[in-house]
Structure 1
Amino acid sequence: MSNRVFRITVRGSFDGLTDEQRAGLLAEAAQHDMLNATFTPEGHLTYDVAARPFFTFRFLAEGEAEEDILDATAHAELAAEAWLTERGYGFKRLTSQAQDLSLAPLGKRQRQAAARGNS
């Protein structure tokens, strides 16, 4: 059985940040800029708390079956909650979205490469 790769996005908003917490997030904002967004096994956080209170975690996970995406999504949500809670950040409205990359449509170059390989 082949491994499947899952991309999981967990979104939410900070809630009830103190001035000190906001200042800490602003001080680390360059590390969490949207332009550096990437999917990682441990989760990558992006936000722009100077503009709005929203954040996004991006997780990369693997599984052997299509159903493994449910466990991977639950794990990502728990990891995001744990990260926020450990730092004392209040949050609300967590939502998640997951994509199984093995089911994603091929792009033009991928289709061309596959066609060359089958010729």
Structure 2
Amino acid sequence: MSTRTFRVTVRGVFDGLSVEQRAELLERAAEHDMLRAAFTPEGNLTYDLAARTAFTFRFLDSGEAEEDILEAAERAEESARAWLSERGYGYKNLRSQAEDLSQAPLGKRQRREAARKSA
């Protein structure tokens, strides 16, 4: 059996932030900018608090079977909850979306490369 790679996106909204928490997040906003977005095993947080209170965590996980994607999504949500709770950040509307990269359609370059290899 081969290992499958999962990309899990966890989205939510900051809720009930104190003035100090908001200032702290704004101060660290450059570290969590969309331009630095990446899927990582430990999770990557992005937000633009100046524009809106939404945030996104991106996680990279793996499993052996197609069903493992559900556990990957649960782990990602739990990691996001833990990160937010450890810092005392309120949140709501937490939801996740997971993608099995082995099932993802090939992009134009990938199709071209696959065609070249099979020819």
**Which TM-score band (shorter chain)?**
over 0.9
Deviation >4 Å, runs of 4+: none
TM-score of the superposition, structure 1-length normalised? 0.98
The aligned residue for residue 107 of structure 1 is 107
The CA RMSD over aligned residues, in Å, is: 0.6
User: Deviations for 1:60-102, whole angstroms, at most 9, x for unmatched residues?
Assistant: 0011110000000000000000000000000000011000000
**Structure 2: which amino acid aligns with 1:45?**
L
After the TM superposition, which of the residue ranges 73-82 and 104-113 deviates more from structure 2? Answer: 104-113
The aligned residue for residue 10 of structure 1 is 10
Counterpart CA distance in 2 for 1:52 and 1:46 is 12
Extract unaligned runs of 5+ from structure 2: none
* Partner secondary structure for residue 24 of structure 2: helix
Extract unaligned runs of 5+ from structure 1: none
The aligned residue for residue 22 of structure 1 is 22
Matches within 5 A, 1:36-51: 36-51=36-51
The aligned residue for residue 69 of structure 2 is 69
* Partner secondary structure for residue 110 of structure 1: helix
The aligned residue for residue 89 of structure 2 is 89
Counterpart CA distance in 2 for 1:107 and 1:116 is 14
* Partner secondary structure for residue 85 of structure 1: helix
**Structure 2: which amino acid aligns with 1:67?**
E
User: Deviations for 1:4-29, whole angstroms, at most 9, x for unmatched residues?
Assistant: 11000000000000000000001100
TM-score of the superposition, structure 2-length normalised? 0.98
**Structure 1: which amino acid aligns with 2:115?**
A
Paired residue total: 119
> Quick one: percent identity of the two aligned structures?
70
Counterpart CA distance in 2 for 1:56 and 1:15 is 14
**Structure 2: which amino acid aligns with 1:30?**
A
